[in-house]
Amino acid sequence: MIDVDFSRTKNGFRLHIEGHADYGESGNDIVCASVSGIFYALCGYLLNFKKDTLHVNAIESGLADIECGHECEDYLQLACLGFWQIAMSYPEHVRLNNRAWRWRMNPDHLSSAKKQHV
């Protein structure tokens, strides 16, 4: 199980990801690849455009932990929505804990988006 945790800090936000999806074989796990893809895209953007506010606590197999300032909120919310979509599609493999924002995600939006692209 991959746990994805968003929380607020004194200076902004924290994203902590821990665990393994165990959906497929190592190196061929689409759930792990999806979570990793969102995380690395987020980090790549923040490192290129918000480097002064990003603090990388850990990036290693089965663990990723970053903190960034309030100015990164929109980018983190976008990543949170991506992780939520994966968690909705693979609930036995990804768990999302969003303690950073009060908004709730509507599962109907995910199913209607899937129908539009089928």
pLDDT tens for residues 6-53? Answer: 999 999 999 999 999 999 998 899 999 999 999 999 999 999 999 999
Decide if 26 contacts 89 (C-beta within 8 A).
Answer: no
Which structural domain, as residue segments, surrounds residue 11?
2-116
pLDDT score of 19:
96
pLDDT score of 103:
62
The yes-or-no verdict on residue 83 having pLDDT over 90 is yes
CATH code, domain carrying 65: 3.30.70.1490
Decide if 95 contacts 114 (C-beta within 8 A).
Answer: no
**Phi, psi values for residue 24, rounded to 5°:** -140, -175
The highest-confidence range among 22-26, 34-38, 100-104, 114-118, by mean pLDDT, is 34-38
Q: How many CA atoms lie within 13 A of 2 on its CB side?
A: 30
Please, what sign has the CA dihedral across residues 79, 72, 55, 3? Answer: negative
Q: Looking at the 3D structure of the chain, how many domains does it have?
A: 1
Rounded-to-integer distance, Cα 103 and Cα 109, Å? 14
The token duo for 17 is 């990801």
From the number of C-beta atoms within 10 Å of its C-beta (0-12, 13-18, 19+), residue 19 rates as: middle
Rounded-to-integer distance, Cα 86 and Cα 31, Å? 7
* pLDDT-based confidence at residue 115 (cuts at 50, 70, 90): low
pTM of the model: 0.86
Instruction: Reduce the DSSP state of residue 55 to 3 states and report it.
Output: strand
Per-residue model confidence as pLDDT tens digits over 87-99:
999 999 999 998 8
